[in-house]
């Protein structure tokens, strides 16, 4: 071949190398655009302002409680549109934030004199206007699915005592509010010297009805009443509104008599279209229906509640965020504290959902903390899905817990000893860590020696064992003593995440269901070895599952494989049960343990 051919070939290699190096430079130079949004007049930050990226997909985010936003610059093509209720909407070039850290919005100014005059002449005008709004929204039953992100911090005397972050699948409607929230993954931190757990704020917010009659945990407001009830219970007025847009009204409502079960508040809406933009509710010394601490002997008395429901400025027919602050008197055996718990639930990616974890057996979790321990996501998942930067308060809490507390799911191991008050419903298999008798209940309804929450056990008699569902009181054959006195439920959990390349990443765990398992007799070392042997057998097949999942691309295929491996493990468990006489044959039990240990811990 001619030398010219080799010269061309070398030239092509150089070009290929240059293209590769250029692509690396671009990917490594990828950064974030960040800034703060401020009120031009007061020079104060604007929390939860909406930042819309003007691009093909019109992606948007919000500022955090400090008014700060952060956007991956691959989304930002040209400019940003910044919206905040009561302020003039502005477009700003992306390049602005490469030289400046703050952007100022100017407030709207307009007068309501004409409407105020009408309202003063007709005492029923404001009541009828408010109730027309309520009636319109009671008819809006369309369910909207979305993703949701929760951030929560709690403190006492300015000292952090808890922080929670979580991603959820959400369903919402304009009539009922939050219809459903299902945790995808989460993490939390806790003060080591004060074992406080928040009051499961997601359950409180799910229970609150926007425009339906309800026996909800939180107090009521006009949206929960008839027109006659509103007139008898509330003083309703049209206010001058510093945070309204042109054409908007602000109606305030104040209880005529304070009874602890009524919120005060305001509704900001467009007068012509009757479109609500924001609902603000608040109250002091309120009475809540059925609130209690996760720690059974501790008591909670609300001091004040602030609840803001913010609708999406790009589509006011959807809820964008719920801002919830709860101050409470908290009494335990050792001390009394005034605790402030602040949470923000942000809804985004409407009409999209996370793929929810799959379980080969149903798991009944006690609360969100319980789920967080199990549904642990990778750091890559958090980096990809995080919606806005951590606030100063959140950063301070995390720094504090690094020194004086615990951070659960911020690293790969979960120290279960830190969770004594959560009373986990499940335990995941861990290398060189076996189940103990205190991890296993005596029976389904009562366990006097266990520290687990007994209330969580009253879930009905039907349970699943090795894929066979039955009721303890309805055996097809006469049960023997072992079938009545012991029940052990195991499960595989399969989850999936998408990395920054758009590739599916699978993760699995082997779980022991504490809530649905018990052993009433023969609580001896042999029996405990037998239970742990079942756990180990399932883990061996879980490890085989992990290997095979590397060749699978769809979650549907992965669930089928997950079921197959669980069934294979169940057959081996059945064989072991027969050969060891349910763990009573010590020699065969030791033989099985030796074989299983060789597979779990092979010598290298």
Q: What confidence score (pLDDT) does residue 300 get?
A: 86
Residue 57 CA to residue 75 CA, distance in Å, equals 9
Report the b/e string of 332-350 with b at 16+ CB within 10 A: eeeeebebbbbbbbbbbbb
The position carrying tokens 């609902």 is 279
If one compares 423 and 572, the residue with the highest pLDDT of the two is 572
Q: What residues contact residue 589 under an 8 Å CB cut-off, 6+ apart? A: 526, 529, 530, 533, 580, 583
Q: What residues contact residue 473 under an 8 Å CB cut-off, 6+ apart? A: 461
pLDDT tens-digit series, residues 6-20? 454 455 544 444 444
- CA-CA distances (angstroms) from residue 247 to 115, 119, 241, 253, 272? 11, 16, 11, 20, 7
For the ranges 283-287, 392-396, 477-481, the lowest mean pLDDT is seen at 477-481
Q: What residues contact residue 202 under an 8 Å CB cut-off, 6+ apart? A: 150, 166, 168, 181, 345, 368
> Which of 202, 213, 475, 212 has the alpha carbon at shortest distance from 346?
202
Instruction: Say how many C-beta atoms besides its own lie within 10 A of residue 158's C-beta.
Output: 7
Q: What confidence score (pLDDT) does residue 260 get?
A: 92
Q: What residues contact residue 467 under an 8 Å CB cut-off, 6+ apart? A: 360, 361, 566, 567, 570
Report the b/e string of 412-431 with b at 16+ CB within 10 A: eebebeebebbbbbbbbbee
Indicate if the pLDDT at residue 127 is higher than 80. Answer: yes
> Which of 479, 478, 482, 461 has the alpha carbon at shortest distance from 470?
461
Cβ–Cβ under 8 Å, residues 305 and 286: yes
Indicate if the pLDDT at residue 376 is higher than 80. Answer: yes
Q: In the chain, what are the domain boundaries? A: 1-28, 32-105, 425-600
- CA-CA distances (angstroms) from residue 292 to 16, 200, 215? 65, 10, 16
Percent pLDDT > 90 in the chain is 57
Q: What residues contact residue 83 under an 8 Å CB cut-off, 6+ apart? A: 49, 50, 52, 89, 313, 314
Strand 60-62 versus strand 50-54 pairing type? antiparallel
Instruction: Say how many C-beta atoms besides its own lie within 10 A of residue 165's C-beta.
Output: 22
H-helix segments, 522-585: 525-549, 555-579
Please list the residues that pair with 39 across neighbouring strands.
105
Residue 574 CA to residue 395 CA, distance in Å, equals 50
Strand 32-39 versus strand 102-105 pairing type? parallel
pLDDT tens-digit series, residues 291-301? 777 777 888 88
Task: Return the SS3 of 564.
Answer: helix
pLDDT tens-digit series, residues 571-601? 999 999 999 999 999 999 999 999 999 999 8
Instruction: Say how many C-beta atoms besides its own lie within 10 A of residue 572's C-beta.
Output: 16
Residue 414: which pLDDT band, with cuts at 50, 70 and 90? low
- CA-CA distances (angstroms) from residue 310 to 47, 347, 521? 12, 10, 55
Residue 119: which pLDDT band, with cuts at 50, 70 and 90? low
Q: What confidence score (pLDDT) does residue 60 get?
A: 86
Q: What confidence score (pLDDT) does residue 454 get?
A: 30
To the nearest whole number, what is the mean pLDDT of the chain?
A: 84
Measured over all CA atoms, what is the biggest interatomic distance in the chain, rounded to whole angstroms? 100
Indicate if the pLDDT at residue 78 is higher than 60. Answer: yes
Residue 103 CA to residue 35 CA, distance in Å, equals 7
> Which of 275, 229, 239, 237 has the alpha carbon at shortest distance from 254?
237
Cβ–Cβ under 8 Å, residues 182 and 169: yes
pTM of the model: 0.85
If you average pLDDT over residues 39-49, what whole number do you get?
Answer: 95
Cβ–Cβ under 8 Å, residues 62 and 68: no
Instruction: Say how many C-beta atoms besides its own lie within 10 A of residue 563's C-beta.
Output: 15
Report the b/e string of 268-305 with b at 16+ CB within 10 A: bbbeeeebbbbbbbbbeebebeebebbbeebebebeeb
Cβ–Cβ under 8 Å, residues 502 and 380: no
Q: What confidence score (pLDDT) does residue 352 get?
A: 93
Q: Which CATH number fits domain 32-105: 1.10.357.10, 3.20.20.70, 2.70.70.10, 2.60.40.1120?
A: 2.60.40.1120
Cβ–Cβ under 8 Å, residues 153 and 160: yes
Residue 322 CA to residue 347 CA, distance in Å, equals 9
The residue length of the chain stands at 604
Task: Return the SS3 of 414.
Answer: coil
Residue 56: which pLDDT band, with cuts at 50, 70 and 90? low
Indicate if the pLDDT at residue 57 is higher than 90. Answer: no
């Amino acid at each position: 071949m001619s030398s010219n051919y080799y010269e061309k070939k070398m030239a092509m290699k150089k070009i290929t190398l240059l293209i590769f190096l250029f692509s690396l430079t671009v990917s490594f130079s990828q950064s974030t655009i960040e800034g703060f949004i401020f009120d031009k007049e007061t020079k104060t930050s604007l929390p939860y302002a909406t930042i819309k990226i003007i691009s093909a997909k019109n992606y948007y985010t919000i500022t955090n409680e400090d008014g700060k936003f952060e956007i991956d610059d691959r989304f930002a093509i040209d400019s940003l549109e910044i919206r905040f209720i009561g302020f003039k909407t502005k477009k700003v070039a992306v390049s602005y934030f490469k030289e400046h850290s703050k952007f100022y919005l100017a407030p709207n100014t307009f007068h309501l004199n004409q409407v105020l005059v009408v309202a003063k002449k007709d005492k029923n005008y404001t009541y009828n206007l408010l109730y027309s709004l309520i009636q319109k929204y009671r008819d809006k039953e369309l369910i909207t699915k979305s993703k949701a992100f929760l951030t929560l911090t709690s403190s006492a005397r300015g000292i952090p005592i808890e922080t929670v972050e979580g991603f959820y699948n959400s369903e919402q409607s304009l009539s009922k509010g939050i219809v459903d929230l299902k945790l995808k993954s989460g993490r939390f931190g806790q003060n080591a010297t004060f074992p406080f757990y928040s009051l499961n704020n997601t359950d409180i917010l799910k229970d609150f009805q926007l425009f339906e009659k309800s026996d909800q945990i939180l107090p009521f407001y006009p949206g929960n009443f008839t027109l006659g009830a509103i007139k008898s219970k509330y003083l309703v007025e049209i206010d001058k509104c510093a945070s309204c847009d042109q054409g908007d009204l602000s109606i305030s409502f104040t209880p005529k008599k304070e009874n602890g079960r009524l919120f005060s508040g305001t509704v900001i809406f467009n007068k012509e279209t009757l479109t609500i933009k924001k609902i603000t509710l608040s109250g002091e010394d309120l009475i809540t229906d059925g609130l209690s601490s996760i720690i059974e002997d501790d008591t909670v008395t609300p001091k004040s509640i602030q609840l803001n429901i913010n609708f999406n400025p790009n589509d006011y027919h959807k809820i964008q965020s719920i801002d919830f602050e709860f101050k409470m008197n908290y009494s335990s055996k050792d001390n009394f504290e005034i605790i402030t718990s602040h949470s923000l639930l942000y809804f985004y990616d409407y009409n999209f959902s996370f793929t929810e974890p799959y379980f080969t057996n149903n798991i009944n979790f006690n609360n969100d903390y319980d789920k967080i321990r199990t549904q642990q996501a990778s750091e890559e998942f958090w980096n990809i899905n995080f919606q806005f930067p951590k606030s100063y308060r959140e950063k301070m809490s995390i720094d504090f817990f690094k020194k004086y507390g615990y951070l659960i799911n911020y690293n790969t191991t979960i120290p279960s000893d830190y969770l004594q008050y959560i009373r986990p419903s499940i335990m995941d298999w861990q290398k060189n860590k076996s189940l103990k008798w205190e991890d296993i209940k005596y029976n389904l309804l009562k366990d006097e020696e266990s520290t687990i929450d007994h209330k969580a056990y009253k879930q009905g008699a039907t349970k699943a064992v090795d894929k066979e569902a039955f009721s303890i009181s309805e055996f097809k054959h006469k049960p023997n003593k072992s079938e009545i006195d012991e029940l052990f439920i195991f499960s595989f959990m399969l989850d999936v995440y998408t990395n920054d390349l758009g590739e599916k990443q699978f993760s699995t765990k082997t779980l022991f269901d504490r809530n649905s398992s018990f052993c009433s007799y023969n609580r001896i070392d042999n029996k405990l070895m037998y239970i742990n042997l079942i756990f180990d057998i399932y883990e061996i097949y879980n490890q085989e599952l992990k290997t095979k999942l590397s060749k699978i691309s769809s979650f549907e295929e992965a669930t089928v494989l997950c079921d197959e491996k669980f069934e294979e493990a169940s057959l081996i468990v059945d064989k072991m049960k027969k050969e060891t006489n349910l763990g009573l044959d010590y020699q065969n039990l030791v033989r099985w343990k030796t074989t299983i240990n060789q597979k779990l811990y092979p010598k290298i």
